[in-house]
Amino acid sequence: MIQLTRLDNGLRIITDSMPRMRSIALGIWVRAGSVDETDPEKGLSHFLEHMLFKGSKHFTAREIAQSLESVGGSLNASTGKELSVFTAHVVDEHIEIAVRVLSDLLLHPRLASRDIELER
C-alpha cells in the first residue's frame, strides 16, 4: 500500500511496502534540472550531481563508491530537465548505511575547490 507522509518541514515521503521482498529502494527527488538553468548556468545541475559523489562531511569519494557496493547494493544519480534523482538499493539489513550515505551526500557535500576544477 502506497502511503504519503508530509513532515513539518514540508518534506514529502512516499513509502510502499512489499512484505515478501527484502530489498530496499531509496530515492530522493530534488526539484533541480536543466529547465531551471539560464544560459550561463547550463549544465550546472548535472555538474552538481557529479560533485556530490566527490565527498561529503563524513565520507570520502572512495568510501561513497564502496559503501553500498561492499554490501551488494548500489548508489546512483541522474539529472533531467526538471529533477535530479539520487537512489540507493540495498538488502533491508543495510538500510542504515544507505540512508547515512545518501543523506550525507545531499546535506553535507564537500564541494572542494580542487574537485570542482577537476570536474570542469
Structure confidence by residue, pLDDT tens digits, 67-93: 999 999 999 999 999 999 999 999 999
- 49 is a catalytic site residue: yes
Catalytic residue (one of 37, 49, 69, 96): 49
Residue 72 CA neighbour count, 13 Å, CB half: 8
State the pairing for strand pair 84-91/74-79.
antiparallel
Residue 119 has pLDDT above 90, yes or no: no
Structure confidence by residue, pLDDT tens digits, 14-34: 888 888 889 999 999 998 899
pTM across the whole model: 0.87
Cell triple for residue 36? 531551471
Contact 59, 106 (CB under 8 A): no
Structural domains for the chain: 24-119 (3.30.830.10)
Contact 109, 102 (CB under 8 A): no
Structure confidence by residue, pLDDT tens digits, 42-74: 999 999 999 999 999 999 999 999 999 999 999
Residues facing 89 on adjacent strands: 25, 74
